[in-house]
Structure 1
């Protein structure tokens, strides 16, 4: 049985509802009752889910609009398409109106191509709209937007290896946590866990910024170099590395821990766990671990730690695994 044809007003009502739910579900004060109502609305008509998915894509792009774009956009948007009191909603409406959308492209506010990719328990290789190639590690989410003045990737979580198509007039920018990586054409790897980021360069050159609110183009990496930063860092830490070292083993489905302290190894391990494990104290973090493990069996690695290290596992109130060092007997003297 075919779906009934809707009037323009009915289509507008679905769009408005999708925008409303998109905003509410992104708010911290969204209640359980609202989430149940959203689930019911989603199931009521298959067109609701289609419109909501489209709205999520617009939301991702709208989140990148410059602050000055929203007030200018409000003056151009038909009143019936505004959602009063929401700057982000105005940005969504800006993207939804074709004439204003063209103006947004010409001003560099809005992309003419948008892609979203996600992996769970399998590696994935994708081709971006500009022809660049990207390999995604397990549990990775990223989006790609093509703007008039730049190509922009947002790495939301996980890890990705990039082979960027050269275009000196159209820089390629990867945003990760509070920083970014800027290139014109090269090969590099970006790993992110929570607010920690690590950039490894194989070919070409990149500019790495740990905080995009600070002035400057960033710190240049040459092949064989690596940059690390976390939230609050004014500048990244730069070090030498190797093109085929442990940082790229994930492309072969491996996690290589090269005699690392647990405090350094745990973020690498937690990237593959549904619930991150914790260290009981600083002393536990000084214990070293080594070995090569399958990225698809990291949960088994966690449960087997007491067999290879002087540690035992407990759980906190939230059900997270906690790694504890076994107390050492004090020598009698």
Structure 2
């Protein structure tokens, strides 16, 4: 069977469609019907998915470009009628230009706007270990996604979801920054773990030192962790909470494919469990959340943990109105 070859115009049309979908899906007024139409378009051809992922990568890079200076009132009046904010369109255009044209890309690198290396890494059903372009090693837990970008003034990792253990290549003049939720972790060379679920983040330090902030918009470098310390934060926290860890802490058991629940309340355990579930568990009330659970479980078999909870705890499962499983404490007799 002969291979169908696209004309340049056909290929350009797919690229333009991918760019338009990327911009539209990032707008807050994007409708469910539009998202359904996008899914149909995305699944129509493997090339659609390839081009859309490329646009997603450009979008992430463009978020780090500086916001342009305010334009004249006349231009503002025109751009306000556009659904896409003017600065975002300019940023994407700048990113495409700077990434596509060698001379412009060099200028973008010198200004610290554009990376000279960019990589997306994902781990789905298996643990994965990768070596980043700077020589740093990263172990990824199940269901983890991150991107790496090397800028002139820093190495930047964005943890989109999941958990990762970092062995950072030492470079005092080129800091390594991990962005997770609304905070960041800044290092020059060390070993540490970052766990994230929704807007909750936990940073565990094994070696060296790191600076942790719960809100990257705040001034200052954040709080310093030394080996054996842990920082926790969630969206809206002014500063992370600092605590000590111990030698055999269960926080790194995932590197051996294990989830350790060390006599935790269900309220504490659920974020750890839900990290591995496509449909998260919910708690019926605070009384259910106060029940305690313990044990060691395989991270690839967390679904079986959910079904076994009623066998080891005084709870039963129901479904919420939107179809999510809910844990309910049995009434006390």
TM-score, structure 2 as length reference: 0.88
1:170 is the counterpart of 2:178: no
- Deviation by residue 1:254-277 (Cα, 9 ceiling, x = unmatched): 000001111111110110111111
Q: Distance in 1 between matches of 2:192 and 2:224?
A: 13
Compare 242-251 and 266-275 and name the one that shifted more.
Answer: 242-251
Cα distance between partner residues in 2 of 1:85 and 1:216: 30
Q: Is the 8 A contact 2:68 2:87 kept in 1?
A: no
Counterpart of 1:226 in structure 2 is 230
Structure 1 vs Structure 2 CA RMSD: 2.3
- Cα distance per residue 1:9-68 (max 9 Å; x no partner): 665544332211111122333345534544555466654443322111111111232324
Find the aligned partners of 1:252 and 1:45 in 2 and give their Cα distance: 38
Question: 1:132 touches 1:164 (CA, 8 Å); kept in 2?
Answer: yes
Distance 1:37 1:288, change over 3 A: closer
Q: Conserved in 2, the CA contact under 8 Å of 1:42 and 1:49? A: yes
Name the residue aligned to 1:91. Answer: 91
Kindly indicate whether residue 134 of structure 2 is the aligned counterpart of residue 130 of structure 1.
Answer: yes
Distance in 1 between residues matched to 2:55 and 2:69, nearest whole Å? 19
Report which stretch shifted further, 34-43 or 307-316. 34-43
Superposed structure 1 runs of 4+ greater than 3 Å apart: 1-7, 9-15, 31-50, 68-71, 83-86
SS at match of 2:133: coil
CA 1:86–1:18 in 2, change beyond 3 Å: closer, same or farther? farther
Q: Which runs of 5+ in 2 are unaligned?
A: 72-82
Looking at structure 2, the residues matched to 84 and 171 of structure 1 have their Cα atoms a distance apart, in angstroms, of 33
8 Å Cα contact 1:256-1:290 kept in structure 2: yes
Q: Spell out, residue by residue over 1:233-284, the C-alpha distance to the aligned partner (whole angstroms, 9 max, x if none).
A: 1011101002431000000010000011111111101101111111111111
Specify which of 279, 283, 288 is matched with residue 283 of structure 2.
Answer: 279
Aligned length: 318
**1:302-321 aligned within 5 A:** 302-321=306-325
Aligned counterpart, 1:205? 209
1:158-211, Cα deviation, whole Å (9 max, x unpaired):
000000000111000000001000000000000000010000000000000011
Query: Shift of the alpha carbon at 1:136?
Result: 0.5
